[in-house]
């Protein structure tokens, strides 16, 4: 039992740990930036001109404010200053699936989460004691149902509203549990004290996308978590007719936030609306840069450069790399150079067609496509992910981690 509890906690920590990278997406116009303090985008010169270069004197701020707020918001090193990581490394090829992405994908972590909310939001008494019990009850129930997906879900209970969130194992989407949501909810309720059995059924996995909006003035939003959602919702609805479902500070620590004049805010909204608010959005009358938040883990293979640890949304490569031959073209454009190709590779995509166009893995240089299971880099990535998953130690929160690392 203790082992199971430990596993559950580890899983939850791990999920946090994995879901930390935020990067510029939406492409070319968005500079890569450090996420924590990013006052504005260079590509929005106009907006930049409107922004105060220095804080207004005599402005009242929180008592916990640091003595010296940054004079120049740009003093922080931005990503542009760093060498792109993809340039020298051997890109790896990814899955053979869809090689192109026309719009931001849901974040991976979002696809791995399930939430059960209380009919009347309220803290769950002794939540930390209940977590392992609920976790075991759900695991047992899933096993009883013959669930083929991993049954060891990571659990977290929100201390404020009692929401129970479950995170699935890496590589497993929450959608795989769709058939078991009712019995899972029953198992959850059965574990709870009578007075707390008001949980609504786990809804299907959320499809919202998270977007980070940088350079939000704390003066406009206040430093309060609770009012943030209300204020952001109103502003984005008025300005863009976009309905957000949540808003939070990227920097979770209010004390750290008070040392800054600007902060970054993460909002969730329907994926179809993402392009309305990226790569820039009008908030409180000013243009702010915004990027789709992406998540990654060791096995995430980019479908643009076919390297690991980032999705296409976070790719810094300027050109696509072919996962079959390492050429500078997309997978769909891959053709054999030989008109006499015995497998008609000159007419369609065929990996390992003939000696004229051998496969070359961009990740390891081997004679296989970059998405091949035999690739040593892929095998290592999987091992890394497993080690990460198994490691039982507290992990930093997403806010602790900088995108530039
Ligand atoms: Zn890439
Ligand atoms: Zn090719
Ligand atoms: Zn060929
Ligand atoms: Zn390889």
* CATH at residue 135: 3.30.310
Q: Would you state the pLDDT for residue 229?
A: 87
**335 C-alpha vs ligand 2 centroid, how far in Å?**
6
- Asked if residue 326 lies in contact with residue 89, where contact means CB atoms within 8 angstroms, the answer is no
Q: State the DSSP H helix or E strand holding residue 282, giving kind and residue range, or none if neither.
A: strand 280-283
Q: State the DSSP H helix or E strand holding residue 128, giving kind and residue range, or none if neither.
A: helix 127-144
Q: How far apart are CA 69 and CA 106, in angstroms?
A: 35
If one counts the domains in the chain, the total is 2
Does residue 184 sit in the same domain as residue 243?
Answer: no
Query: Does 82 fall in a domain?
Result: yes
**85 C-alpha vs ligand 4 centroid, how far in Å?**
18
Q: How far apart are CA 340 and CA 362, in angstroms?
A: 26
Q: How far apart are CA 393 and CA 253, in angstroms?
A: 21
Encoded tokens for 224: 């309060």
- Residue range(s) defining the domain that contains residue 238: 28-56+75-103+207-292
Domain boundary among 140, 167, 196: 196
Q: How far apart are CA 69 and CA 170, in angstroms?
A: 40
Measured CA distances, 131 to 112, 127, 404 (Å) = 18, 6, 34
Per-residue pLDDT of 4-56, as tens digits, reads: 444 444 444 443 343 333 433 333 333 333 333 333 333 333 433 444 333 33
Q: Would you state the pLDDT for residue 244?
A: 86
Q: How far apart are CA 155 and CA 11, in angstroms?
A: 8
- Asked if residue 154 lies in contact with residue 114, where contact means CB atoms within 8 angstroms, the answer is no
Which one of the ligands is nearest to 308 CA? 1
Query: Does 4 fall in a domain?
Result: no
**301 C-alpha vs ligand 1 centroid, how far in Å?**
8
**342 C-alpha vs ligand 3 centroid, how far in Å?**
6
Regions of the chain where pLDDT drops below 50: 1-107, 392-405
Encoded tokens for 121: 């939001």
Query: Does 91 fall in a domain?
Result: yes
Encoded tokens for 347: 């007419």
Prediction pTM value? 0.42
């Amino acid at each position: 039992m203790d082992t199971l509890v430990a596993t559950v906690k580890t899983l939850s920590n791990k999920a946090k740990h994995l879901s930390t990278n935020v990067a510029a997406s939406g492409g070319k116009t968005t500079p890569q930036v450090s996420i924590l303090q990013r006052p504005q985008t260079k590509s929005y010169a106009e907006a930049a001109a409107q922004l105060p270069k220095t804080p207004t004197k005599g402005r009242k701020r929180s008592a916990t404010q640091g003595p010296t707020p940054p004079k120049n918001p740009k003093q922080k090193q931005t990503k542009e200053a760093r060498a792109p990581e993809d340039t020298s490394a051997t890109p790896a090829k990814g899955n053979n699936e869809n090689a192109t992405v026309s719009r931001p994908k849901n974040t991976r972590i979002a696809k791995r989460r399930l939430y059960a909310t209380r009919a009347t939001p309220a803290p769950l008494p002794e939540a930390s004691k209940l977590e392992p019990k609920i976790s075991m009850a759900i695991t047992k129930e899933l096993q009883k149902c013959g669930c083929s997906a991993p049954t060891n879900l990571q659990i977290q209970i929100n201390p404020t509203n009692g929401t129970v969130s479950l995170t699935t194992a890496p590589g497993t989407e929450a959608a795989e549990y769709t058939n078991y949501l009712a019995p899972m909810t029953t198992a959850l309720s059965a574990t709870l004290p009578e007075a707390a059995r008001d949980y609504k059924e786990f809804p299907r996995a959320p499809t919202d996308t998270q977007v980070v909006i940088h350079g939000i003035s704390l003066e406009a939003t206040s430093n309060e978590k609770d009012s943030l959602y209300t204020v952001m919702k109103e502003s984005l609805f008025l300005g863009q007719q976009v309905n957000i479902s949540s808003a939070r500070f990227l920097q979770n620590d209010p004390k750290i936030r008070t040392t800054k004049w600007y902060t970054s805010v993460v909002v969730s909204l329907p994926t179809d609306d993402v392009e309305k608010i990226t790569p820039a959005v009008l908030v409180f009358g000013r243009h702010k840069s915004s990027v789709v938040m992406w998540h990654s883990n060791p096995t995430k293979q980019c479908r643009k450069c076919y390297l690991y640890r980032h999705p296409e949304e976070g790719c810094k490569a300027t050109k696509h790399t072919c996962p079959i031959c390492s050429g500078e073209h997309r997978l769909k454009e891959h053709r054999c150079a030989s008109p006499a190709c015995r497998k008609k590779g000159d007419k369609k995509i065929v990996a390992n067609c003939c000696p004229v166009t051998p496969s070359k893995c961009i990740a390891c240089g081997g004679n296989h496509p970059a998405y091949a299971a035999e690739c040593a880099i892929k095998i290592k990535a999987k091992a890394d992910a497993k080690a990460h998953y198994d490691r039982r130690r507290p992990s930093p929160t997403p806010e602790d981690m900088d995108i530039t690392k």
